[in-house]
Structure 1
Amino acid sequence: MLTMGVEEEFLLLAPDGAVVPSAPRVARLAAAGDQIKPEFLSCQLETTTAVCTSLDRLRRELVRLRSRAADAASRAGASLVAVGTPPFAAGPLDAVTDEARYRDLAGRFPGAVAAGGTCACQVHIGVPDRDLAVEVLARIRPWLPALLALTVNSPFAGDRDTGWASYRFHLQQRWPTFRPPGAWAGAVRYDRVVGSLVSAGAALDRSGVYFLARLSERYPTVEIRVADACLGVPDTVFFAGVVRALVATLIDEARRNITTLPIPTGLVDAHLITAAHGQVRIPRSRTPGDDSPAGGAVARLMAKVTPALAASGDAEDVFAGLERLRRDGTGADRQRRAWERAGSPTDFVDFLAGATTSVAKAHK
C-alpha cells in the first residue's frame, strides 16, 4: 500500500471578500507546528497532513486540520476558504510573508507575486526509489490534464468571472518552472535538470522548481502539484485516491517494462489549457469505456486506475466521489452557482467558508 500525504493551501478572507494578511498570527493561534503554517503571501495558510495509508485516515487528518485552521482564522477575524484564487480585488493582495525565502522569491520574480496568491492541493505519494519515481513522472505526463480537470476551483478573480475554470493555472504560468516534468532517464538526469534550472536563475533553489509533478525535496515522494485547492474535504479525499491509484498503476507498468507512446510537451500543454478552461468534462456515468466528448479524458483516467482502486479497497470511496462530482460539478461549477445566488460579497464568502469546513464541523 503506497503511503500518501496532502498539503492544502487556503486563503484568509474578510466578510467583504478582502484578503486578510494575518497568516502568521493564525498559524500561531492554531499552534499545530509545521502542520499549519503561513505560505508565500501573508493571506495564505498551508496545512500538511501526517503520512497516511488509508483514505479514512486521510479524511480524518484533513477534517482535523481544516477545523483547527478555521477556528484560528475566526479568532483572527477571518474566514478560511479553499479556493484557487482570491475572488475579489480587495485587501493587500501582494503582501509577502515576512520570511527571508519568501522575500527572496518576491525579489527574484516580481512579476510572479500576483500568482503567489494562488492556492493548490499537493498530493504526495511515497516512492522511495528515486529512479522509479522519475519514471513515474515521465509516465504521468499524459494524465496531468485529466487530474487538473477533476480539481478546477478558481473561476473568479478581481470581482469577475475570468472565463477560466482554473484561473490559478493561468496565473501560475508566470513562474518559469511551472510546467510538466520531462521524460527523463533516471534520478541523475532529473537532478541535473533541476540543478541547471537553479543555476540559470529560473528557480531560487531546488524547492523552487515548480514542476506540475516532481520529486519532493523534503520527503521520499512523488509530489503531484497540478491541482487547484479543493473546495471541500470530500473533493480532496477523492483526488488523493485517484492520484494514489494512478501512481500505483504507473509503478506497476514501469516494473513490467510496459512501453508508452511519447507525448510532446506542447500537446500536454495544450490539453492542460483545455482543462483549465473547464472544457474537459466529467463522464456521464462511471462506465470506463465512455470516450464521448463529454468525458473522454477523465473516463480514460478512471478506467486506467480502476484495477488499482480495487486492489487497495478504495474503489467504493473514489467512485462515490466521481458520482458526486458528476452530480454537483467541479469546485468551479459550484462557485459559479453560488456567485449567481449571492446577494453580496459576504454571502459568497459565507458559501466558500461553509464549503471549506462543512465536513469538519460535522465531525467535531
Structure 2
Amino acid sequence: MGVEEEFLLLEPDGAVAPKAPEVVRRIGPNDQIKTEYMAYQLETATPVCTGLDQLRRELTRLRLVAAQAAGQSGVRLVASGAPPFPAGPMGALSEDERYRELARRFPEATEAGGTCGCHVHVGVPDRELAAAVLTRIRPWLPGLLALTVNSPVTGANDTGWASHRYRAQLRWPTFRPPGVWPSAERYDRAVRSHVTAGRAVDESGIYFLARLSARYPTIEVRVADTGLSVADTVLLAGVVRGLVATLIEDVRQRVKVVPVPAERVSEKLLAVARGGARTADEAARLLSKITAQLDAAGDTGEVYAGVERLRREGTGAERQRRLWNRYGPTAAFVGALAEATAPLSTG
C-alpha cells in the first residue's frame, strides 16, 4: 500500500500562501514531495509500505520535512480538506500546463479553490480482479468518508458541513462513485468515454472516488478528506487495505453481490459530508466486514484502537470545529491546525 496526502500552505494569519514551488526547492530533489493544483498546495507520496508501522514512519517523516521547509519560507503546513479563510490569492494555479488546461476546461471546479484529499493505494496486480472489487467497494465509500471528514470551516465560516471538500469536489464531472463494470475492458471503455466527451482531460483526470490507478497496479481510493493527523491517515489506510482484501476474498469465493444503485451511494455520501451520519455506526459496519482480513494482516489492534480514538476525540471535522470555536479566525487557530498536522516539537 501507499498513500498520497495533500496539504495547504497558509500564512500565519490564515491566508493561502502560494509558495509551494519555493518550499519544494528548499527540500531539494525529492520525488515524494511536489506541488499540487494550486500553488498553495503540496502533495506527499509514501513509498510502497507493507505494514502500518512502516506507513506511520513514512507519513510522519514526509510531514516533518514538508513542515520544516514551509517554516523556513515563513508559512505553515496544514492538513485540512479546504482552506479555512478566504484571504489571499485563491486562484493561484501552479505553473503546469496540464493544470492550466484543467482550469480552462473546468473553471467552475477551479473556482472552488484548492481542496485537499488523501488517496490510499492498495496493490491489486490483476486488473480483472481489481475491476470486480470496484463494483463491490461502492456501498462502503460513505463509511470511509465518515471516518475522514475534515473540512468544516471555509471562507472564515463554519459551513455546518463535516466535509465541505466533498461538496466542492462535486463540481468536477467525474468526482463520483465508480460504476458497475463487469471487466477491466469495460472500465477502460468508460474512462475513454469520459475523456472523449470532455469530462476529463486524460486518464489521470478521472476522479472516481475509487479507481484503477493510471500509474500503478493498484486500486486507488480517493473519497477521503486529508487526515488532520498522521493517526487519522494510518487508520484510513488500515481500513482501506482490510476492505480491499475482504472484497478480493468475496470475489474469489464468488459471494453474490447486488450492486447498490449509484444514486443511493451518492445520497449517503452527501449525508455523511453534511455530518448526518454517526461515525461510530459507520465504523462498526466496516469493522464487522473486515475484521477477518485485519486479523490476517496483523492490523486488528491498530485499527480498533484508531476507531476508539475517533470515538473519544472525534473526527478531524469535530476536532477542527472545536479549535474554531475556541480561537475563531486567528493565528492561534492556524497554529493549532499546523501543530496537529506535524507536531515539530516532537519531531
Shorter-chain TM-score tier: over 0.9
What one-letter code is carried by the residue in structure 2 that aligns with 1:266?
E
Percent same amino acid among aligned pairs?
A: 60
Are 2:276 and 1:315 aligned?
A: no
Are 2:244 and 1:247 aligned?
A: yes
Q: Deviations over 1:322-361 (max 9, x none)?
A: 0000000000000111111115520100010000012x65
Match in the other structure for 1:48: 45
Match in the other structure for 2:287: 302
Cα separation, partners in 2 of 1:344 and 1:158, compared to 1, 3 Å: closer
| CA distance in 2 between partners of 1:32 and 1:249 (Å) | 38
Are 2:72 and 1:75 aligned?
A: yes
What one-letter code is carried by the residue in structure 1 that aligns with 2:339?
G
Which of the numbers 84, 88, 96 marks the counterpart of 2:85?
88
Q: What is the number of residues matched between the two proteins?
A: 347
Match in the other structure for 1:206: 203
- Find the residue that maps to 1:348 and give its secondary structure: helix
Report the CA distance between 1:116 and its aligned residue: 4.7
Which of the numbers 168, 183, 186 marks the counterpart of 2:165?
168
Cα separation, partners in 2 of 1:124 and 1:117, compared to 1, 3 Å: same
Match in the other structure for 1:292: none
Report the CA distance between 1:192 and its aligned residue: 0.4
Which of the numbers 303, 311, 317 marks the counterpart of 1:326?
311
Are 2:93 and 1:108 aligned?
A: no
| CA distance in 2 between partners of 1:303 and 1:158 (Å) | 38
Are 2:347 and 1:350 aligned?
A: no
Report the CA distance between 1:298 and its aligned residue: 2.6
Report the CA distance between 1:117 and its aligned residue: 0.4
Say whether the 8 Å CA contact 1:84–1:119 is kept in structure 2: yes
Are 2:3 and 1:9 aligned?
A: no
| CA distance in 1 between partners of 2:156 and 2:329 (Å) | 11
Residue segments in structure 1 that go unaligned for 5+ positions in a row:
284-294
Say whether the 8 Å CA contact 2:135–2:259 is kept in structure 1: no
Report the CA distance between 1:183 and its aligned residue: 1.1
What one-letter code is carried by the residue in structure 1 that aligns with 2:332?
D
Match in the other structure for 2:256: 259
Which of the numbers 341, 350, 356 marks the counterpart of 2:326?
341
Moved over 3 A (4+): none
Matches within 5 A, 1:182-201: 182-201=179-198
Report the CA distance between 1:281 and its aligned residue: 1.1
Report the CA distance between 1:299 and its aligned residue: 1.3
What one-letter code is carried by the residue in structure 1 that aligns with 2:22?
R
| CA distance in 2 between partners of 1:194 and 1:26 (Å) | 34
Q: Give the superposed CA RMSD.
A: 1.0
- Find the residue that maps to 1:266 and give its secondary structure: helix
- Find the residue that maps to 1:237 and give its secondary structure: helix
| CA distance in 2 between partners of 1:58 and 1:114 (Å) | 34
Report the CA distance between 1:115 and its aligned residue: 3.3
| CA distance in 2 between partners of 1:361 and 1:202 (Å) | 45
| CA distance in 2 between partners of 1:159 and 1:81 (Å) | 15
| CA distance in 2 between partners of 1:116 and 1:180 (Å) | 22
**TM-score, normalised relative to structure 2:** 0.98
| CA distance in 2 between partners of 1:160 and 1:95 (Å) | 21
- Find the residue that maps to 1:117 and give its secondary structure: coil
Are 2:223 and 1:238 aligned?
A: no
| CA distance in 2 between partners of 1:229 and 1:152 (Å) | 8
Say whether the 8 Å CA contact 1:88–1:159 is kept in structure 2: yes
Say whether the 8 Å CA contact 2:6–2:117 is kept in structure 1: yes
Match in the other structure for 2:138: 141
| CA distance in 1 between partners of 2:278 and 2:293 (Å) | 23
Q: Deviations over 1:161-192 (max 9, x none)?
A: 11110000000000000000011011100000
| CA distance in 1 between partners of 2:227 and 2:200 (Å) | 26
- Find the residue that maps to 1:113 and give its secondary structure: helix
Report the CA distance between 1:121 and its aligned residue: 0.4
- Find the residue that maps to 2:12 and give its secondary structure: coil
Say whether the 8 Å CA contact 2:156–2:329 is kept in structure 1: no
